[in-house]
Amino acid sequence: MSQWLVLTIAMAAVCGVVLAITVLKQRRIGADDDPSETPDVIEYMTMMVGVVYAIVLGLAIAGVWEARSAAEDTVRTEAQALHEVSTRVAAYPPPVRDRIRSDVDAYVGYIIHKEWPVMTEQQRLTQRGTDLLAKVRSDVIGYHPRNDYEGQSYQPLVDQVGVADDARNNRADAAGSTLPGVVWFGLIAGAAVTIGLIFTLQIRRSARELLMAALFSALIAFLLFLVWDFDAPFSRAISTGSGAFTDLFPHV
């Protein structure tokens, strides 16, 4: 089932629950009930809870968005470092140059076609990808430059392989969820409390009040979906793709 369909169903369900409770609650209210008798302290508490939850929810969205942006930067850094290796190795003899480029292409091809689906579905990297990158590192470090021209390219190549390896480790760290379970408990409990406080204000069955209650609950559900989606940068609907690799290695 599409995650956007799940979001639509969840928002509709939240709206339906809120409206149903509102209508049922209204039917049980006597004719002599006066909504103007709502204590001012309840209105104040409702406002403060809403403000506090909005701050917490905003911080959660900002945090997962920053994590997603960092994941995109990590992918670009890894792809660019490998591209630099393929380019700078032109100073080496043809057999060495071709072997290194072939190993880089093998690693990139495996990342795009094999490891990326595993990372998306299981939120982890593969040992095969680690071994292929280790082979690239071994090829680069194992060659001994024969002259100054090759020597000038040796250390930059070693550095770029190190950058790619570090970016791969960062990509492994970003493959899973970034928010701990206790934060999710707070977000969901806060949403329940915030929506539940709607009923303390004695809203009526007027079209305007029902519409505002439904829109408010749908907004909370949508924002929680955004946090959940951004929480795993590589795994969900708005995910970070392997476009950086395919752009720099179109032949793979």
Q: What is the mean pLDDT of residues 227-249?
A: 80
Give the best-scoring range by mean pLDDT among 3-12, 38-47, 237-246: 237-246
User: For position 241, what pLDDT does the model report?
Assistant: 77
pLDDT tens sequence across 140-199: 998 888 888 888 888 999 999 999 999 999 998 888 788 888 888 889 888 888 887 776
Read off the tokens for 62: 């900002």
Report how far residue 31's alpha carbon sits from residue 147's, in angstroms, rounded to the nearest whole number: 97
Give the best-scoring range by mean pLDDT among 50-59, 205-214, 236-245: 50-59
Q: What is the mean pLDDT of residues 109-126?
A: 89
**pLDDT above 80 (res 204):** no
- How does DSSP assign 55-113, residue by residue? HHHHHHHHHHHHHHHHHHHHHHHHHHHHHHHHHHGGGS-HHHHHHHHHHHHHHHHHIII
* Helix 127-142 with 148-174: angle, nearest 10 deg: 160
**pLDDT above 90 (res 122):** no
Greater model confidence, 234 or 3: 234
CA distances from 47 to 35, 54, 149, 221 (A): 17, 11, 70, 19
Q: Please tell me the pTM assigned to this model.
A: 0.76
